């Protein structure tokens, strides 16, 4: 009888697993080197593959935009450092995609030949592929806590507008003590948490600052400029 393989992974709210690694930008001690900053740690299946190439070009092009939101990017695949360097050089010198060309990837790309980091983060999903990392994305806050995880199969490229939306929404929720509804973007109404008592619920229904459809569903305005001024670096 075959035994089912299970891949462990951190959960939302866990401390991000620690590791030291060699990268294309030198050695890193994760997440200690990034204390005080948000980080997107993401994996890709392999160097010199087309979907991954399109993703790295997009991430690199958007790196400054993420940096303005106090967010650093860290990539990983189960490839060696020299493979990483050759691939990134090829991207810069040869690849043009959706108007992007001469793209230089400046964020670190982790060498993980031993799969140590990939296994700590559950990036290897045996039923998908036992020798390649899936397209995992971990959003880690300034205290080193995992706040969001998104997993994509090998064949599906990531939605980068959504990745940016997530990093802004997480910070907005923290900063203003609210929740963000479906498809939220800065400037949209936000959700006010449910009332904790009957009296509070009744007060909420008549609060002029809120739009309450019922005691459990209340929204309020949150100006786009107010959100972005708090989150984006000047």
- pLDDT (tens place) for every residue of the chain, 234 residues total: 444 454 578 999 999 999 999 999 999 999 999 999 999 999 999 999 999 999 999 999 999 999 999 999 999 998 999 999 999 999 999 999 999 999 999 999 999 999 999 999 999 887 777 778 889 999 999 999 999 999 998 899 999 999 999 999 999 999 999 999 999 999 999 999 775 545 455 566 656 688 988 888 999 999 999 999 999 964
Is residue 11 marked as binding? no
* Residues designated as active site: 52
Nearest to 110 by CA among 199, 180, 21: 21
Residue 66 forms part of a structural domain: yes
Parent domain of 107? 19-170
For the entire predicted model, the pTM comes to: 0.90
The two structure tokens encoding residue 192: 């006010």
Q: Are 135 and 195 in the same domain?
A: no
Label residues 155-178 b or e (16+ Cβ within 10 Å = b).
eeebeeeebbbbbbbbbbbeeeeb
Domain end point (choices 140, 155, 170): 170
Residue 4 forms part of a structural domain: no
CATH number of the domain at 63, please. Answer: 3.40.30.10
Asked if 110 and 76 count as a contact pair (C-beta separation under 8 A), the reply is yes
Asked if 200 and 141 count as a contact pair (C-beta separation under 8 A), the reply is no
Q: Are 222 and 140 in the same domain?
A: no
- How many structural domains are present in the chain? 2
Domain end point (choices 132, 150, 170): 170
Q: Are 98 and 195 in the same domain?
A: no
């Amino acid at each position: 009888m075959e035994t089912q393989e299970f891949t462990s992974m951190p959960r939302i709210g866990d401390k991000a697993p620690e590791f030291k690694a060699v990268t294309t930008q030198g050695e890193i001690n994760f997440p200690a080197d990034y204390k005080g900053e948000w980080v997107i740690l993401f994996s890709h299946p392999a160097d010199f593959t087309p979907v991954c190439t399109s993703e790295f070009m997009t991430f690199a092009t958007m790196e400054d935009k993420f940096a303005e939101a106090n967010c650093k990017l860290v990539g990983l695949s189960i490839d060696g450092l020299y493979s990483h360097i050759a691939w990134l050089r090829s991207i810069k010198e040869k690849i043009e995609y959706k108007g992007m060309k001469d793209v230089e990837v400046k964020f670190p790309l982790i060498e993980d030949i031993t799969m140590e980091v990939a296994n700590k983060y559950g990036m290897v999903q045996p039923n998908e592929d036992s020798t390649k990392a899936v397209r995992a994305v971990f959003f880690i806050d300034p205290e080193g806590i995992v706040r969001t995880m998104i997993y994509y199969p090998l064949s599906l490229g990531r939605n980068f507008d959504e990745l940016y939306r997530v990093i802004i929404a997480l910070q907005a929720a923290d900063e203003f003590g609210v929740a963000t509804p479906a498809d939220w973007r800065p400037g949209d109404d936000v959700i006010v948490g449910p009332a904790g008592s009957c009296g509070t619920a009744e007060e909420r229904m008549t609060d002029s600052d809120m739009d309450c459809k019922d005691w459990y569903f209340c929204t309020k305005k949150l100006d786009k400029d107010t959100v972005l001024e708090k989150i984006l670096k000047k």
